[in-house]
């Protein structure tokens, strides 16, 4: 009986130790809400459809201009639109977020955050004047026809409002099977920031040519713009602008390696970003232009 009691006491003692130890075991540490999973560097081209400004717009942007102080009564406005292309450079990181239980990091979506730099022409305009005056008259001895030679002078004023932009760049990225060698991605993104520098450029050029005609109709003309006469230019600094854009990233991603760990984490990608760019011009108003960014990039993942 005494032996049984000792065994019971021993069992109770062991069970107490076990339950006490179990009570002291801490739950596994939760993972962080987000980690940096990728690093991106990208370079390419920034294309923007320039908004058509007016002569009055550029006179407000460059009130001290000597060229724009001339009389433009008999000048015509250049019609059409223009698209300019400039270099784009971006540096970003990709953030991965955990699930609600904080047990693993989700593959989609990835949040890209960083900065983009580019130069763009926001506003353009142009006026021109063509002056035609008689230059010479020639009469054929055999036919008696009279050939008129006219001297034509063309004057052009071209104006551009441009800026160098450094913007915060953020986007949500969704990938098709991120573990595969080839993948595609899309999402939605925005940029916002201030111009590093903003300026207005004004160009004046004057050309000449000769037109030949019989009677009152032009039969043949020589449009040789090598007959350059003169040119002038002006450039003025403007107030700092604020810019923002919304875009849709569309791209394809290629994992370089299959075996070595370093190359398995290294990716090449090509991405285009159709979107709308907004520029708030302090001297005028806000301008909205259609834009397209495109370029190649390098992505290094930590996972």
Residue 13: Cβ within 10 Å count: 10
Would you list the domain boundaries of the chain? 30-301
Which phi and psi angles does 224 have, rounded to 5°? -95, 100
Residue range 67-120, pLDDT digits in tens: 999 999 999 988 767 778 888 999 999 999 988 888 888 889 999 999 999 988
Q: 276: which strand partners?
A: 246, 290
Nearest to 163 by CA among 83, 281, 293: 281
Which phi and psi angles does 159 have, rounded to 5°? -130, 135
More confident: 115 or 230: 115
Q: What does the buried/exposed string (b/e) look like for 70-85 if buried means 16 or more CB atoms within 10 Å of the residue's CB? A: eeeeebeeeeeeeebe
| Total length of the chain | 303
Pairing mode of beta strands 217-222, 146-175:
unpaired
Residue 24 has pLDDT above 50, yes or no: no
Pairing mode of beta strands 51-52, 110-139:
parallel
The model's pTM: 0.77
Centroid of chain to Cα 165 = 9
Residue range 170-219, pLDDT digits in tens: 999 999 998 899 999 999 999 999 999 999 999 999 888 777 766 555 54
């Amino acid at each position: 009986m005494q032996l049984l009691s000792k065994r019971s006491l021993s069992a109770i003692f062991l069970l107490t130790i076990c339950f006490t130890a179990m009570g002291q075991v801490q739950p596994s540490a939760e993972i962080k809400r987000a980690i940096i999973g990728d690093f991106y560097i990208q370079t390419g081209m920034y294309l923007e459809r320039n908004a058509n400004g007016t002569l009055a717009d550029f006179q407000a942007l460059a009130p001290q201009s000597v060229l724009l102080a001339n009389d433009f009564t008999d000048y015509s406005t250049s019609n059409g639109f223009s698209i300019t292309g400039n270099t784009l450079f971006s540096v970003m990181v990709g953030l991965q977020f955990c699930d609600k239980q904080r047990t693993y990091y989700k593959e989609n979506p990835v949040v890209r955050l960083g900065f983009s730099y580019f130069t763009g022409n926001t506003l353009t305009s142009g006026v021109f004047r063509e002056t035609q005056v008689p230059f010479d008259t020639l009469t054929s001895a055999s036919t008696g026809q009279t050939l008129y030679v006219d001297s034509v002078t063309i004057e052009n004023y071209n104006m551009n409002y441009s800026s160098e932009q450094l913007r915060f760049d953020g986007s949500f990225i969704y990938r098709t099977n991120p573990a595969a060698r080839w993948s595609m991605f899309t999402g939605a993104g925005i940029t916002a920031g201030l111009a590093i520098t903003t300026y207005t450029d004004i160009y004046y050029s004057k050309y000449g040519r000769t037109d030949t005609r019989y009677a009152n109709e032009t039969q043949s003309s020589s449009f040789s713009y090598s007959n350059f006469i003169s040119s002038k230019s002006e450039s003025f600094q403007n107030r700092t602008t604020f810019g923002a854009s919304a875009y849709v990233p569309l791209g394809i991603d290629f994992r370089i390696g299959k075996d070595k760990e370093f190359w398995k984490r290294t990716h090449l990608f090509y991405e285009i970003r159709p979107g709308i760019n907004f520029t708030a011009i302090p001297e005028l108003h806000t301008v909205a232009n259609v834009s397209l960014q495109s370029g190649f990039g390098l992505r290094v993942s930590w996972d």
